[in-house]
Copies of this chain bind each other. A is one copy, B any other.
Amino acid sequence: MAQQSAHSERKYPCERCPLQRSKTFRDMTSREIGFMSRFKRGELAVDKGAIVLAEGARNPHLYTILFGWGFRYKLLPDGRRQIVNYVMPGDLIGLQGSLMGEMQHSIETLSPMTLCVFERGELMSLYREHADLAFDVTWLTAREECMLDENLLSVGRRTAIERLAYLLAFLVSRGRGVGLFNGAPPQLPITQQHIADTLGLSLVHTNKTFRKLVDRKMLRPLDRGCVVLDVEGLMSLARWEGSNEDTRPFI
């Protein structure tokens, strides 16, 4: 198996971490980079549609996403699915499984994805040796909590069209934050089934709501996805202020 002594076969060594290139992410000290490089176990590249983490599993790894999109979801025994959030580059996933024992949700990719792999068991040494990084882990978890609060508000209290408007604005806002569109009109790789399962709506009703936004020219449909044309309009329709993130940590 690949050893981390030389890291020779790494496509993305920590010193040249692709996330560092984006000015969204905070700079790491060289000591931190050195630690991360030892903490890192390898890289994982998965296809579109792959299940990276499965509910109920005990996976000994943690991951940071380097490239690609995905979503995090839960299932009811009879198959009803709820997508609870989306994951993007810079997101740390699998932490909850590390802390609670087994995974309480699954994560599936929406595009090919590259992940940075860490050892669950080494997490405590990160806490011991790098308080700043430990703080960042907590920051990331608190941010996730914050997004979930917003999602819950949306599903619980917004109407169908407001929910959809919120979701689209939210995804574009997050995607822009990590430079996923770089200037191009924001394109989302999610099907209407994904949207329905995020908003707590049926597929049919989602489609009808979707059409309304297309008619209003806030949205253009695309094969298995859509292009968002008017983020401002969507935000005001959803009565969403947006989240103000300037720089953020990552692991």
New contact pairs (6) apart from A105-B149, A141-B142, A157-B200, CB-CB < 8 Å: A76-B153, A96-B145, A104-B149, A131-B131, A134-B134, A137-B138
Q: In whole angstroms, how far apart are the Cα atoms of A226 and B198 in the complex?
A: 32
A119 to chain B, nearest CB (A): 15
**Contact residues on A (Cβ < 8 Å of other chain), bracket:** 35 or more
What number of copies of this chain does the assembly contain? 2
Q: Which residues of A contact B (CB under 8 A)?
A: 72, 74, 76-78, 80-82, 84, 95-96, 99-100, 104-105, 123-124, 127-128, 131-132, 134-135, 137-139, 141-146, 148-153, 155-158, 197-200, 239
Contacts of A82 on B, CB cut-off 8 Å? 152-153, 156-157
Q: Is the CB of A158 within 8 A of B76?
A: yes
Closest B residue, CB atoms, query A80: B157
Q: Sorted from nearest, which 10 A-B pairs have the closest CB atoms?
A: A156-B200, A127-B131, A148-B148, A128-B131, A82-B156, A80-B157, A82-B153, A141-B141, A74-B153, A82-B157
Q: What is the interface of chain A mostly: helix, strand, loop, or mixed? A: helix
Whether A239 and B78, one on each chain, are in contact in the complex, defined by CB atoms closer than 8 angstroms, is yes
Nearest chain B CB to A138's CB is how many angstroms away?
5
Minimum CB–CB distance from A231 to chain B (whole Å) comes to: 18
List 19 A–B pairs whose Cβ atoms lie within 8 Å, in order of A's numbering.
Answer: A72-B149, A74-B150, A76-B153, A78-B239, A82-B152, A82-B153, A82-B156, A84-B149, A96-B145, A96-B146, A99-B139, A100-B143, A104-B149, A131-B134, A134-B134, A137-B138, A145-B148, A148-B149, A156-B198
CB-CB < 8 A to A144: which residues of B?
145
